Amino acid sequence: MAKIVTFSIDGQKCMAEEGQYLVDAAETNGVYIPTLCNMTGVPPQGSCRVCSVKINGKLTTACTTKVSEGMEVINESEEIQDLRKAIIELLFAEGNHFCPSCEQSGNCELQALAYRFQVLVPRFPYLFPERDIEASNPKLFKDHNRSILCKRCIRAITDERGRRLFAFGKRGDRIGISIDTKLAANISDELADRAAEVCPVGAIIRKGRGFAVPIGQRRYDGQPIGADVEQAK
Ligand code: SF4
Ligand code: FES
């Protein structure tokens, strides 16, 4: 049986199984730690830094850190909240995120975090990069304007033989997600649905399924991201 450890988040006493990732352990204790590149069931990689917390005085990522006995976590200080907000603003400034015309509006984790962190005008200049949309796959669109390069699609989408369908293509500021055209040529409906689902923004979109869930009934239309975790407390 797994050992139970006691730790604290913002002074609140918490308990979890030893070795559990902090984001998950926090959730089971009714504490929301924001995430973007992380996804339950997919090995963490700690790239976006939105889940930054302070542990025993040191900044670190909650999605890659396992809980241990006596750990003292700061999740909601002004400094940490501003760091997270700055990361979200950077992502908006770096890509082309036109929420009003995006199929993912209301289901988008980046948009939902922007609302939660009350982002109005990013403190960074917009880059308005020139990026394309690719529609060669029979079931999926890829919109490079919206990709936040979180690698969730790369890590989560594999065929029945474990081969990855997505990868990074190009380099530097041209870097973007590419699909293995041969492997993905006959992608099943289930895997195509899953690919669109794992993308936290609207960078992977199913063809022929636009606005299946109407605006107003989408995941974050009714309540802010993280509210479900906090309400379960
Ligand atoms: S396409 Fe979506 S899931 Fe893949 S890296 Fe870009 S944002 Fe992440
Ligand atoms: S969610 Fe932890 S680094 Fe992205």
Tell me the domains of the chain and their CATH numbers: 4-75 (3.10.20.740), 86-206 (3.30.70.20)
Q: How far is the CA of 163 from the centre of ligand 1 (A)?
A: 17
Q: How far is the CA of 56 from the centre of ligand 2 (A)?
A: 19
Q: How far is the CA of 81 from the centre of ligand 1 (A)?
A: 24
Tokens encoding 140: 């999926």
Which pLDDT value is given to residue 2?
Answer: 84
Question: Which of the ligands is closest to the CA of residue 53?
Answer: 2
> Order of strands, edge to edge, in the sheet holding 12-17?
12-17, 4-9, 72-74, 52-55, 58-61
**Average pLDDT for residues 169-178, to the nearest whole number?**
87
Query: Residue 211 — pLDDT band, cuts 50, 70, 90?
Result: confident
Which pLDDT value is given to residue 104?
Answer: 96
Ligand 1 pocket residues where CB is under 6 Å = 147-153, 177, 198-201, 203-204
Cβ of residue 37 lying under 6 Å from some atom of ligand 2: yes
Q: How far is the CA of 42 from the centre of ligand 2 (A)?
A: 12
What is the amino acid identity at position 181?
A: T
Alpha helices, H only, the chain:
22-28, 78-94, 109-116, 152-156, 181-184, 189-198, 227-231
- Evaluate the CA torsion angle 42, 44, 47, 53 in order and state its sign: positive
Cβ of residue 38 lying under 6 Å from some atom of ligand 2: yes
Query: Residue 171 — pLDDT band, cuts 50, 70, 90?
Result: confident
CA–CA gap between residue 175 and residue 65 (Å, rounded): 28
**Average pLDDT for residues 159-170, to the nearest whole number?**
93
Please provide the average confidence, as pLDDT, over all residues in the chain. 95
Share of the chain above pLDDT 90, in %: 91
Instruction: Confirm whether pTM is higher than 0.85.
Output: yes
